[in-house]
Every structure is written in structure tokens, then in C-alpha cells.
A and B are shown apart, each in its own frame.
Chain A
Amino acid sequence: MAAALSATARSAIRFLLNGESVAVTDVAPQTTLLEFLRNRHGLTGTKEGCAEGDCGACTVVLAEPADDAQRLAWKPVNACIRLLPSVAGMAVFTIESLKSTEGELHPAQRVLVDHHGSQCGFCTPGFTMSLFGLYKNIYRPTRAQVEDAISGNLCRCTGYRPIVAAALAMHDQAPAPAAADWRACGVAADGSQVVGTGETELLARLASLAQDGTFAYEAAGRRWWAPRTGDALAALVDAHPEARLVAGATDVGLWITKQHRDVGDIVYTGEVADLKQIRETATQLEIGAAVSLTGAFAALSGEWPELREVWARFASVPIRNSGTLGGNVANGSPIGDSMPVLMALGATVVLRLGPATRKLALEALYVAYQKTALRPGEFVVEIRVPRRSSPLLLRAYKISKRFDQDISAVFACFALTLDGERITTARIGCGGVAATPRRAIQTEAVLVGQRWNEATADAAARTLADEFEPIGDMRASADYRRTVLGNLLHRFRLETTGTAVPTRVEQLASTTM
């Protein structure tokens, strides 16, 4: 059992940094990747704009073996809240790596120059790395894909028009990197995947870094464990109940950068193989707690395409690449967006304490503000979502000041099953209106057994607007939250009862002019 530091444990954080092997032994485990890049390696191209994963100036690209182990998965992440030990075994690429050895700009760089996509330039390395990630993963992206790829990158100078234009032109930019170059696009024009020799070489080098067993690291009096199995994780948590369980660090990272907290010893879930699985059984989706938000949302959208928009609006690509569904669920924030959806879908969570596991309805996990039913040492293993029932009327709505990368003022997910016109079941998950994510039980009761029409919606909307007692804060007043929650039920009715009227401002964005 690798519960404690042992002689066989690796003592260095080994990874590839811009293609060079790096072994770190003396940096505190709660050091961010950004601090390491700038202060230890003098790689100052990566910038700090906010130190909370909201501006993207620190974007770097991580490459790690994809699920099939035949190629690399390329993922932009925010270096400012990425803890350094979590990149062990990966290839980290920063802005300094993008030019070819001959000094040729990468197409993601060239197009930004040609389209006048930089003004002050401080955000530019981050945008460039986001565009590089996009370049690798999608051949000739659409405008929507471009907007999604840079939804976590803020620019205060350009108004974005030239950056979007640049991104749309990337794959037509000559010269493109040779196919053998790791910088080359990983997708052919026909959509098939391309794995060049550069990527194969990187894979081989990463394979040589890979080791079995719990990775244990210690520096500056603080320890980091990255177990590989659920059993090892359970044993570690049991042996070190004081240690902090960390997944993507998209929240804990802020405790470090913003609150200057010493988070103590850390048990990292990001390497636990059995927590990174998504299983589809005949009756349910089982999503491991350490599955990234990107992975989890892809699976959920596959089953429930109605959810695509809210998932695309959940944080940003880099955050979704680092953050996990289990982290979002375990964190239990009243303004987290995954829980209202999962509640409406009837999800349960599997919890583990030592060898024992138990199952809870998701809504039962949340006890009070930032308080869950998790016992000391207990952790979320997986989230189980019953497969789609049919016919199902499903919509999820996020209301926030900004469309992309914002925290919800109000979030609502409505799921109705009908028998003819009659509502047989109703589940409504709500966020932003109470101290925890909540089901709207009273409103559900108003709906069940009724015909799904305007009169029913009116009655239900009135109940829903009064069902919670939200607070007012910088995101919205209490009144607004209540009113909008009720109004969203009207929108749901309009969108699911065959009325053809436009219900979203977004529908008009590409149709006018």
C-alpha cells in the first residue's frame, strides 16, 4: 500500500517542458504551474492576468496520452491555478515553444499578426495557446467553435473581431507545420485523426516517464500523493484524513492564489484510473468523479443534446479541461451548474469511505451552505445518471451577466415526462436561488398529473417563483432571481409545446443582417 512516502516512490515531478525533460524536487506542492514557469524557468511569455482562471493570459497547452494511448490529447489549461505536481507525466507547452526551430511562426501566431489580432499584447500569448489547442484539435473550426475555444480568454483592446477572423483562417495559413511536427494539426480535412512522428516521439518519451503506483512527492514540508487506483485513494484518505482532496484545483487553486491559504498535504484524484472512467450501461451513465468536465459533458450531451448550450457556457475550455464533474458535485456550491441538471436527470452519487461505499440521491448530498453529507474521509467515486427516458421534455437554462464564462445568477433545469399531454413525472433542478443546489419539489408537485399547457405553466411558474428565498448580491437581486426562475418555466413551456415564437436572443445572433 502506497499510503505513505516510501523508498520506491518517485521523489521528483517529471514532465516535458517545451520538449525538454524536467525533474522538480524542491518546489512546494501547492506551487502553481504559472509560478514555476515564470519564476523558476524564466518563461515569462505566459502571463498572470487574474490568478483565478478567468482571463486566460496564462493559458498553456498540456499533452497527455489520449484514452486510446495511440496519440496525444492536447488540452489548453490555465497555468495560474494548475498545481505543478499535477502535470507529472505530461508534456507542457508554453508560448515559447510554438515557433519552429527554424524560427517559423506557427499558423496560430502568423494569423494573429496578419489580422492585427494583438494590441497591448498582454493577453496574446494566452489567446495564441488557445488557438494552438484549437488548431490541433479541430480542422477549420466554425465561428461557434472559435468562440468556444477562446471563451476563457479576455482581451480588453481589440474587441475580438480580428482574433476571431484570425482563428477562422488558421488552417488556410501557409506554411503549415510539416505533418511530422508535433505542432501540426491533428485532424485531416476528412476529419480523420493524424498522428505524426513528432507526436509519436512525444508519446514514447511520456511513456518512459510513466510509472505505476502512487506518486508521492514532498517538498517544503508539504506532501502530495497521486494514487492510481480507487483502493489506493481510499487507503490514503483513510491514513491522512487531514490531507486535502484535490481534483482539478479550479476552486482550491483560488484558495492558494487569492486567500494565500496553506492547503496542507494534498491527495490528488487526477491519476486515479477507475475514477476517470465513463461507463454506459443499459440503465445508466456512470461517470467517474475524476472525469474532466470536458469528458463528462461530452457524454451527457451525447445522451441529452438539449444540454449542449449550458455545457458550452460552463466556465471555459481550459477550466473544463482541468475541472472534474466529481469536483463540481462534491464542492456543492449553490451556484455550480452541473448539480441542477444532474438532479433533474435523477442522478445519484456513489460515495466511498475506506472499503465501504454508499449511494445517495444527489439532492441528499447537500445539507446546508457549503456543507455536504460527506463524512470525514469519504469521497465521491462516481455520478450515476439514469439513461434517457422517452418521451422526455428537457431544457436547462443559465442566466448570468455574460453569456460565456460566468457564474449563474439563476440556473434551472426542467425535465418532464409525458403520457400524451399529461405530465407523469417532473423534476426541476435549481441553482443560484438557495444555499445549496435544490430540487423544486413544490413546483414539481404542481405539475405532475396536469396537462402541459399555458395554464399549468402559469400555476407552476407562480409556485416556482415563491419556492425559494434567494439572496441578493453582486450577480442579481433576490427579486430578479425569483422572477426569472418563474419566467424560465414560461420559456420552457413555449419551447416544448410547439409554439414557434423565438425564445432566445441567441437565435437571432446569426440570422439578422
Chain B
Amino acid sequence: MNAPHPRPLAGTSAGSPMIAGAPEPHDSALLHVTGEAQYTDDLPEPRGLLHVALGVSPIPHGRLRGIDLDAVRAVPGVVAVITAADIPGVNDVGPIQHDDPILAQELVEFAGQPIFAVAATDVNTARRAAKLAKFDLEPLPAILTIDAALAAQSYVLPPVHVARGDAAAALARAPRRLRGTLRAGGQDHFYLEGQIAVAIPREHGGMQIFTSTQHPGEVQHMVAHALGIAAHDVVVECRRMGGAFGGKETQMSLFACVAAIIARKTGRAAKLRLDRDDDMRSTGKRHAFSYAYDVGFDDDGRILGLDLTLASRCGFSADLSGPVNDRAVFHVDNAYWLPDVALHSYRCKTNTVSDTAFRGFGGPQGMLPIEHVLSEIAVALGRDPLDVRRVNFYGTGTRNVTPFGMTIEDNVAPEIVAQLEESSRYRARRVEIAQWNRTSPVIRRGLALVPVKFGISFTATHYNQAGALLHLYNDGTLLLNHGGTEMGQGLFTKVAQVVAQELGVPLATVRISASDTSKVPNASPTAASSGSDLNGMAARNAARELRQRLVAFAAGKFGCDPEVVEFRDGAVIAGTRTLPFAELARMAYMARVQLSATGFYATPKIHYDRKTLSGRPFFYFAYGAAVAEVAIDTLTGEHRLLAVDILHDVGTSINPALDRGQIEGGFIQGWGWLAQEELWWNDQGELKTHAPSTYKIPTAHDVPEHFRVEFFGQPNREDTIYRSKAVGEPPFMLALAGFDALRDAVASVADYRLAPKLDAPATDERILAAVTELRQRMLADG
């Protein structure tokens, strides 16, 4: 299926044909397929470059009494070794709390925690040498699981409770009630390009850093702190990342700091590139969650009261666990009205790697339990799960306030679900599948439709700002820097489309160069799906500023009304004169018109109280829904995704091809989290799934041939860039439909009369266990 045609944009006067809205290829596509796209490790290496490797803790918790590094230093080719004592500035890369040492000093808190770094003339020497240290470690008791942390009240941050109404009273009153528990595993980002940083010493004790990061500004500040120098002496550049997904929002800081400390100490450039196994052992992941719920509902399945505990494994430090868990709490409602509700969020401290941002940022973990609860209610009432979901949808005008007090003004979930229910033949397929299952003793099929509502904006309100710097050269070409970073999502392409649209020039006229802290200061991370919303607006404002100057110049020059000056197809029409855009640029330059402009944008309307988690944290919501069909094997637990139908709300798309890519990629990544990818620690706290040989993300075979994606065509009701909607994270959660379809398939074993116990990820083993448990329960129930 080809991407649907973009609808024309409203409210953009400049430029035709429409550049914004066209399915332009990724701006690096040609470079990708020819191998010419440069990632950090591909950059020409500076003279005398040192290669760095990390020495890490073998145990999850212990007192570090000493390190014998003699054997490390003795390896020929080793040039320098550093420990915490060699850090000139602050030994911390915690983005919010200051509990994240660069190198462990007295205490090690997870297996894989960096303790020292060794620099050598080649990477193999450095890595071999790093294994030769002798640690004097006194093991301490380790807390490895959420259950153990809860029992010990071990938290990285204090628990948070959000309540509306009186959940306990509502539960007591409710005609029907269910209690249960559920678990969801974490997820490794598995960006194909591992963590890497190159540090090059500069003048004034300064440092230039090339790294793969979603947040160059954070790297700049962390390196400055670690070296004890000022921000203006650190320049961080990132042209592109080989994938990030949240894993390079904070996690790169440690590696950049180590490279910078080595570079400072030796006066030589230093590169730290993690091997895949080291990357997986030493960088944070999606938070695993454990849930306990108590839900009261009526005979139609309407939820009357909900008491839900969400406990997450945060690892040894806070990192972004505060906002991740906040967002989980903010998404417990998904698309549903929860009248009386009590939510308890525990941020557990464990002796495992510190978990971090990952596409959805807690949102998926917030939505999973409510979808589970709704499906349980459906089984309890003998109703179709979609009917139960529908009676719980948020309303319009009433039943439309979230548990955290935000009024939902843009609820399109019911409409999206209705359209998808029809276009996917949901009802007919439910009937077909139930019949088919009765004739199939071994293989069972399942089907589910799940909606998604996801809040757009950083919950850290100050992050909702962006800057752009636009240069027009006197040959008519444009160079743009903005605060966003390119990790594959196509941000640079979309923002270039915005600039081309505003100035009426062909897309090729606009070049976007590497994200660079010396071009756009104080940029926020490219995260929270905000890249296009924020940077597109900032770039648009820069382009409009520039355009105004050109209009004024052209009007004066050609003696026409500024109102009639038009920019289109690479030309400028000023009254009776039509001239190439490049010609106008040259003339403006000669007339000493400023041809450089900055743009700035701050998201309006948002505010919230971080203590009570109440207010309007989100500018708007992005919506979508998915129907997924699966098959399971009741002898082995093997499972297969058979068909996917998605209807997703991207507002007015700036680039339908890129948006479709985010939806498809997000869905499959979500499916990986829920159905396939398993992080497995042994009882020594060692992660044993630390490479693609043991950690299995989806491959092409796991993707169904029937994979239909359509856009819900309505423009964003909020004034976003060309009325588009953020699309990076929301589609990830569409995969909840796949997980619910697995539950549905398992439920068929008991003829849909009992609810299966299925945790995520639904590996073959968990599915077989759920089938077995359900059969036993059915026998016990008679």
C-alpha cells in the first residue's frame, strides 16, 4: 500500500507546490544506501587518537576497597589509566539527581558499572587491558528485583500518590470487583550504533566532543562539570545517530565525560566506543514494572473505582526515573474515564543498571495495566473487550478530565476506533476466529483492538522550547541549524520542508547541518516526540523573520506593496518583477540586508505542579488505534503476529512517508517489547542477554504481510507546525493490541470464560505457562 496523499496545508501562504506535506525521502537516504553517511566512528580520526575501554564492576553491590591497575598499565600500548580520583571536576552525570558517578569511587552499585578507564593506541589493546585490573571488592547484599526493593522500601525517589475522588469507597460500592497483578519486563534500546564519543582537546582548556546523542547540550554541561570548565569551552556536535530511542538522551554523558577526561589528562584526542555487550551491560533500559490492581465496575463494564500500584525497577540511580514514572502515572487512563481512582507509584532502587528513557517514556508501562484490566472485565462479563473499552471512553464535555486534572479537549479516540472497527472488519473477524478456534485443538488465534491516547509535551515544562539559526548565503542557498537531533526519525527532512515551504524554494536549497551546541544554545533533548513540534516551529519563525526582511527589501527595491511579494518555486514575484530567489539573495546581500535569522518557540498553554502531578502537562494528545491478529501454539507457546491494521492520528502530516515509517517502526518495536524481547539477569545480578545472540529483537519474518497503516486525516486542533501531530512515540503503544490479541488467543483455551495470567514479554514460555495454568484452573473450576 502506498502512503495516502497528503492533504493540502491550511494557513501557509508561501510556496507552491506544497513541499511541507510531500512524502520526501529522508534527507540522508542516498547517503545511507551508499555507505557515505558518516556516524561518529566514521569521522576521520585525529592525529594521535587514543582508544578507550572501561573496566567495570563484576558484582552488583559492593564496597570498593582498592584497585590494582599494575597489570593494566603494563600492557604495551597502554598510555593512560584513570579512576574517579583523576576527574578534575564533578564525578557525576545525573541529569536531575546527582547520584550517577562517572566512575565508581567507594561503592559499586551494579554489575557492569564503570570503575576505571584505560586508553591505548588501539582499541583491542585497550579492551584487553581493561580486563586485567584486580578489584578489592567487599560484596554487599544486592537488591535485584522490584519485589525485593519494595520489601526493603528501597527507592531512588520517594513514592508518589495521585488520587481523585474516593477510590476505596467506589470499590466498596461497585457491583463487581476484580483484583490481580501483572508484570512487564524492560527493553534494551538496541540502537544499531552503540554508544560512542570522541573528545578533542581545544584551546583554553576547552574540549570538542563528537558523540551520538539526543541531547548535545546535556553532554556539553556534563563535560564542562566533569572537567571543571565553563560551558562556552565545550562544543558538542552530532550529525546523526544510528538509532537512539531514548537510549541517548542521558546515557551518552558518561562516555563523553570519560573520553574528555582522558583527552584532558593526555592532551590527545580520545575515542570511547562501546562494544555491543559492554553497551548492553552498562547502559540503562526501559523500566520493568510490576502492578497490583483492584478495580470496581458495573454490569456494563464501566469502571467505577480503581486502585492501582505501579512499581518500577529504576536501577541504582534516579536518572530520568522521576519523569518516566510520572508519565506512567499520566497514562494509566489511556483513553478511559476513571472516576474514582488512586494511583501509587513506587520508584524502586535496585542493584541493576540505571533505567532510562525509552520511546514512550513510561507511557507504555502506564497503559498496559488498564488495557489488561479492561480485558479481564470483558472476560468476567462475557462481553467483547471492545465493548468494555467503548463504555469507558472519555466523553466530550463530560467524563473528560484526567486523574491529574487536565481537561481533554481533543478526544478523537471514539471516532478513530469506530472507523478502524469498520475498516478492519473487527466484528466479523471476532466471530470467524472464535469459530475457527473451536475446530483447532493446537493452534489458537486471537484478535484485539486497542486505542492509544498519548500526551504531547515534555513533562519538564522548561524543555518545551527550541531555537533555530538560519543562514541565507548570497548564492541563494540556505543553511539551517536547530536544536533537534537526527536519529533516523527524519526530523531534519521535516524541518527542511518547513523552511523550504516558508521561503518557496526547492527542498534541495535547504541544507541542515549537524546539531551543534555552538550554533543553537541550551537546546532541549530531541525526545518526548517533540522534535518536529518544537524545532519545526523555531525554524518556521526563523524563516519568517528572514522572509520579512527579504519582502521589505524587495518591496523597496521594486516599488511594490510588501503584501504582494510572493515566494514560490524558487522564485520571487515582486509586483511585475519575477526573479530567481538566488538573485534576490545576492541583491539583498549587496544592499547589506542581514541574511541570518534566529527563530525561537516555546509551547503555549502548559503548566503543572510536579509535587501533586496536577495541571495541564500536555499541549495536546496524539491518538491512534490498532487491530492485531495473532496465532499461538498451545503445545509450545510459539506465537506469530498475523495481521495488523492501524489508524493513526498524525494531524496534518508534514511528511506522510516519514510518519508512516514512525508508525510501522514504533509498532514493531512495541511488539518486540511485549512479545519477544526478554532481559534476563541471573541471581548474581549479571545481565545474561547482552548481545543480539541472546537478546532477540524482531526480524523481518516477525512482521506480518498484512500490515495496513492509515492516517486519521484531521488537522491538530492546537496551533502546531502546520497543524501536524507528534508521531515518534505514540505508535509504540499500538502494539498493546498485539499483546491483548495474545491474551485473547490464550483465553480461547478456556472458551473465553476465564482470564489468562499473561505477563510481558509474552515469550513462548510465558504463553505456554498461561495456557497450562488456564487449563488447570478450568479443570479446578469444573
Contact = CB atoms under 8 A, between A and B. Distances in A.
B30 A113 contact: yes
Given A108-B33, A122-B242, A406-B696, 10 more contacts: A55-B192, A120-B488, A147-B701, A159-B707, A164-B703, A401-B696, A473-B688, A474-B688, A484-B635, A491-B636
Interface in B255-286: 275-277
B301 interface: no
A47 interface: yes
Interface stretch (B10-18, B34-42, B222-230): B34-42
Nearest to B655: A116
Contacts of B172: none
B698 A116 contact: no
A458 interface: no
B768 A120 contact: no
Given A122-B192, A124-B33, A505-B638, A156 B701 contact: no
Interface in B386-437: none
B34 A122 contact: no
A349 B691 CA distance: 33
A402 B442 contact: no
Interface stretch (B124-132, B142-150, B202-210, B377-385): B124-132
B191 interface: yes
Interface stretch (A287-295, A386-394, A496-504): A496-504
Contacts of B25: 113-114, 116
B39 A122 contact: yes
The 3 nearest A-B residue pairs measured at CB = A45-B35, A120-B488, A122-B242
Interface in B698-740: 698-707
Interface residues of A, number: 91
Interface string B114-148: 00000000001001100100000000000000000
A125 B29 CA distance: 11
A151 B697 CA distance: 12
A314 B632 CA distance: 22
Contacts of A243: none
A227 B696 CA distance: 38
Interface stretch (A95-103, A179-187, A197-205): A95-103
Contacts of B28: 118, 121
A483 interface: yes
Contacts of A50: 276, 691-693
Of the four ranges (under 10, 10 to 19, 20 to 34, 35 or more), the interface on chain B belongs to 35 or more
Interface of B: 23, 25-26, 28-39, 41-42, 124, 127-128, 131, 189-194, 240-245, 275-277, 439-443, 445, 487-490, 629, 631-633, 635-640, 642-643, 657-658, 660-661, 664-669, 676, 678, 680, 688-689, 691-694, 696-707, 763-765, 768-769, 772
A374 B439 CA distance: 52
A51 B192 contact: no
Contact of A501 (B192, B440, B676, B700): B440
A116 B631 contact: no
A71 B128 CA distance: 43
Contacts of B765: 409, 476-477, 480
B32 to A, nearest CB: 3
A161 B32 contact: no
A264 B707 CA distance: 50
A137 interface: no
A400 B661 CA distance: 28
A11 interface: no
Given A476-B765, A505-B639, A120 B242 contact: yes
A470 B631 CA distance: 28
| Interface-central residue, B39, B631, B632, by most chain A CB under 10 Å | B631
B704 A116 contact: no
A279 interface: no
Counting chain A CB atoms within 10 Å of each CB, the highest count among B128, B664, B676, B706 belongs to B664
Given A95-B34, A116-B25, A119-B488, A49 B276 contact: yes
A501 B34 contact: no
Contact of A121 (B41, B488, B660, B665): B488
B6 to A, nearest CB: 14
Nearest to A405: B699
B657 A157 contact: no
Given A52-B276, A116-B29, A121 B37 contact: yes
Nearest to B243: A120
A118 B33 contact: yes
Contacts of B769: 480
Nearest to B131: A260
27 contacts: A45-B36, A47-B39, A47-B193, A48-B41, A50-B692, A113-B33, A116-B25, A116-B657, A118-B26, A120-B192, A121-B240, A122-B191, A124-B37, A125-B35, A128-B33, A154-B192, A161-B664, A161-B703, A164-B700, A407-B693, A473-B680, A480-B769, A484-B637, A503-B633, A504-B443, A509-B640, A509-B704
A267 B462 CA distance: 62
A259 to B, nearest CB: 9
Given A51-B276, A96-B34, A474-B688, A487 B635 contact: yes
Interface in A470-513: 473-477, 480, 483-484, 487-488, 490-491, 494, 501-510, 512-513
Given A94-B35, A473-B688, A477-B765, A402 B696 contact: yes
A465 to B, nearest CB: 12
Contact of B706 (A162, A257, A476, A513): A513
Nearest to A98: B34
A466 B297 CA distance: 46
